[in-house]
Structure 1
Amino acid sequence: MNSDYLREVFTEYLQVEKNASPYTVKFYQEDLDTFFLFLEEEGIEHVKDVDYAAIRVFLTKQYEQKLSRRSVSRRLSTLRTFYRFLEREEKVDSNPFLQVSQPKVSKPIPGFLYEEEIEKLFHVNDLTSPLGQRDQAILELLYATGMRVSECANLKLVHVDFSIGTVLVRGKGNKERYIPFGRYAQDALEQYIHDGRAKLVNKANEDSGSLFLNARGTTLSTRGFRLVLNKMVKNAALTINVHPHKLRHTFATHLLNAGADMRSVQELLGHKNLSSTQIYTHVTKDHLRNIYKNSHPRA
């Protein structure tokens, strides 16, 4: 079995046809390497010789290594995709991983900020300084759109359309979507772009075109976004853990609490499946309970 060759062609398939991110490809490769090592240890010479019994042994070994159900579930998904690819390329006759059910994984309830908590963050930045203007624009835009931090970090100036109040976002799999933003985000962005960003870009040799810049005038990294938020929390004297993704959770939760429909929130978040969006209904149960109590005649 030429595992190096199979790994190479599968990686090419992920990158070219599936348009998978480098992060996703990395995890697929690691899962595949684990599987190939297992085949070698078990003396299974070819991928077409893997059957249901071999898969059960593989799963047992994963649990013996104290892997979480979530990690095992991800590896199964990887190998199911891998064998689907092999089946298409006629390197195997069938996909044995279709016989194996995914382990039940409990979905953690996403953390979010209450309105009074996020309100404090909006008042900590120095709007007279370029970095303060930038930080305010980041906070307003993340909360206004619910985009991922990676999507925000990749934004260019040309992606912002003030005439209709939307931003063009390139999400997972390079899929594009337009997300509207409101007056607060627009005011913060306009102040930053016309004042703070113009001053920051003068510190660099050339304008990268990126929307958000660091103190040197070059593109702000995803790590930089996290540092910006941590600084805001510290300045607001909040004892909460805030990361960019929590603002995404907050965006979705506040929309659903205010009565937005699930399909619209799914589209705004760029979720492929509605099930990914439905997790946010868990954090709106108290709100729904209150509506029921106040609205139902026999509540």
Structure 2
Amino acid sequence: MSTRKYLTQSEIIRLLTACRTSRHPERNSCLIYMCYIHGLRASEALSLKLSDINLESRELYVHRLKNGFSVNHPLIEEEVLIIQEWLDVRNTLLGAEKEWLFITERGTPMTRQRFYQLFSRLGQIAQLTLGIHPHMLRHACGYALADRGG
């Protein structure tokens, strides 16, 4: 098993492709994409509320943990589409009136444990040989920013 702590861009694409075969492709794609683009920790992503997203101004308010700076992040065009697809499905689910962005089909907030299980399963489907975990998306964001000179 490799000790690499991040996923490459091609591995992210494979994970997002694997989401299409999952039971909740819109939610899973949105969750993984947002974690990658914004460098979110699992707990930060799962604590997002509907009120943290403003599709009109194309902003996401990120409540950082571990003494990080909570700030507004811009939403990119592709991300807005992915979020809208998830919200369209989410609005049909039990618990759609709840404030959490990422809910289960039972209408409860998604847990970290469920996210880890889901992520591991998607990694198997994507045939990733690393022992992957959601925090690798945060590291992937950092590497992607560095590659672009950020």
TM range (shorter): 0.7 to 0.9
**Higher share in helix:** 1
Letter in 1 for 2:47: N
- 2:60 and 2:50 map into 1 onto residues whose CA distance is 10
Equivalent pair of 1:110/1:249 in contact (CA under 8 Å): no
For 1:143 and 1:174, how far apart are their aligned partners in 2? Answer: 17
2:78 to 184, 197, 208: 184
1:246 paired residue number:
136
- Say which SS state the counterpart of residue 168 (structure 1) adopts: strand
Give, in whole Å, the separation in 1 of the partners of 2:45 and 2:33.
12
Q: Which runs of 4+ in 1 moved over 4 A?
A: none
Distance 1:225 1:248 in 2: 14
Match of 1:149 among 34, 38, 42: 42
2: CA distance between counterparts of 1:181 and 1:240?
29
Using the aligned pairs only, state the percent identity: 23
Q: Match of 1:144, SS? A: helix
Deviations 1:55-112, CA, capped at 9 Å, x for gaps: xxxxxxxxxxxxxxxxxxxxxxxxxxxxxxxxxxxxxxxxxxxxxxxxxxxxxx9711
SS in 1 for 2:119: helix
Amino acid at match of 1:155: L
Q: 1:159 to 1:241 in 2, by over 3 A?
A: same
1:133 paired with 2:22, answer no
Aligned to 1:296: none
Tell me which structure has the larger Cα radius of gyration.
1
The answer to whether residue 12 in structure 2 is matched with residue 118 in structure 1 is yes
Among candidates 100, 120, 127, match of residue 210 of structure 1:
100
1:222 is displaced (CA, Å) by 1.4
For 2:136 and 2:125, locate their aligned partners in 1 and report how far apart those are by CA, in whole Å: 18
* Higher RCO by CA contacts (8 Å cutoff, separation 6 or greater): 2
| 1:134-167 deviations in Å (ceiling 9; x for gaps) | 0010011111111111111111011011123221
- Kept after mapping to 2: 8 A contact 1:121/1:233: yes
CA contact (8 A) 1:157 1:210 kept: yes
1:215 deviates by: 2.5
Q: Is the 8 A contact 1:145 1:180 kept in 2?
A: no
CA–CA separation in structure 2 for the residues paired with 1:192 and 1:185: 11
Superposed CA offset, 1:240-294 (max 9, x none)? 222121100000111011111xxxxxxxxxxxxxxxxxxxxxxxxxxxxxxxxxx
TM-score in terms of structure 1 length: 0.46
State how far apart, in whole Å, the 2-side matches of 1:116 and 1:175 are: 29
Q: 1:184 Cα deviation (Å)?
A: 2.3
- Mapping of residues 1-299 of structure 1, within 5 Å: 111-126=5-20, 131-172=24-65, 173=67, 176-194=70-88, 196-200=89-93, 202=94, 204=95, 207-260=97-150
Q: 1:274 corresponds to which residue?
A: none
Count of residues in correspondence between the two structures: 147
Deviation of the 1:127 alpha carbon: 7.6
| Amino acid across the alignment from 2:114 | G
